[in-house]
Amino acid sequence: MAKCEVCFRHCEIKENTLGFCGARSCKNGRIIPANYGKISSLALDPIEKKPLYHFHPGSRILSVGSFGCNLRCPFCQNDSISWSDDVFYYAEKSRYVSPEELVQIALEYHETNQNIGIAYTYNEPLVSYEYVRDCARLAHKEGLFNVLVTNGTAELSVLEEILPDIDAMNIDLKGFTEKYYNKTLGGNLNMTLRFIEKAAASCHVELTTLVVPYENDTEEEMRRICSWISELKDQNGRTIGNEIPLHISRFFPRFHMTDRSATNVALIYHLKDVAEEYLKYVYTGNC
């Protein structure tokens, strides 16, 4: 048995079993990423799909995903590779792609499709941060960019391990109450806020908030979110938060949350107006 140190759960994982995320295991008394290099998804996407609107707009990026996640969002859009029963299928059937091979694929797309780099996305990439680290280092040596799409539920030690080779991130800031993060999502708000603070001080960051009816859809909560974002600082202590792009996305019922309708479009645009009282760059999604 060994303790995993990736996120707030600090799972005590028994030999040859998996932790809560379904992606980290104990082998010979040490924690390893059981999904290292096991690829479930690979696609060439517009950078705006991440979503990143202020990082090389108009370009494309090779997006790669594995399986596993340390949250339990009931509305997950990638449930088949995150935490549904299908994860076990992907664990068995996923193709192994070494860091060297992934970077080579990215370079080939760079030559033929003007790909700018690699985006680690689809499932939660930090449950296999070692793979992200190894690929990102190689990609940087080849002049490629690295993008991380994450829920930000990780210790700062994990972030510091990969940060030197990450050029941009989109981080979910799913709400601003402990109740929503802890009970509904199975996360930890304080850990996510610390992660965002550290990341925003060091690389290009854009944030995404999915507005879910009856959960985080009030004007008051949006004001709290945007007020906090607006105070973020860079490494030199300069306030940069009002320049961080925020993507406000519309919820659609799916997976385990089908008990409510999609978010009202008028509400999304109202919350955008509220957010723009604090932030320069606010975008709507799924409208």
Q: Where are the domains of the chain?
A: 2-285
Tens digit of pLDDT per residue, the chain (287 long)? 999 999 999 999 999 999 999 999 999 999 999 999 999 999 999 999 999 999 999 999 999 999 999 999 999 998 888 886 766 666 667 789 999 999 999 999 998 888 999 999 999 999 999 999 999 999 999 999 999 999 999 999 999 999 999 999 999 999 999 999 999 999 999 999 999 999 999 999 999 999 999 999 999 999 999 999 999 999 999 999 999 999 999 999 999 999 999 999 999 999 999 999 999 999 999 99
Determine the Cα–Cα distance for residues 257 and 251; give it in Å rounded to an integer: 10
The three-class DSSP label of residue 283 is strand
Domain 2-285: homologous superfamily in CATH: Aldolase class I (3.20.20.70)
Tell which residue, 36, 37, 28, 31, has the closest CA to residue 13.
Answer: 31
Grouping H, G, I as helix, E, B as strand and the rest as coil, residue 215 is coil
Return the beta strands (E) in the chain as ranges: 2-3, 12-13, 24-27, 30-33, 38-39, 41-46, 60-65, 95-96, 115-120, 145-150, 168-172, 204-211, 246-250, 282-285
Q: At what angle do helices 129-141 and 99-113 cross, to 10 degrees?
A: 50
The confidence score (pLDDT) of residue 258 equals: 96
Question: Six-digit token pair at 2?
Answer: 């060994």
pTM: 0.96
Rg (CA), the chain: 18
What's the pLDDT at 74? 96
Could you give phi then psi for residue 203, rounded to 5 degrees? -150, 175
- pLDDT for position 111: 84
| Token couple for 125 | 């990439």
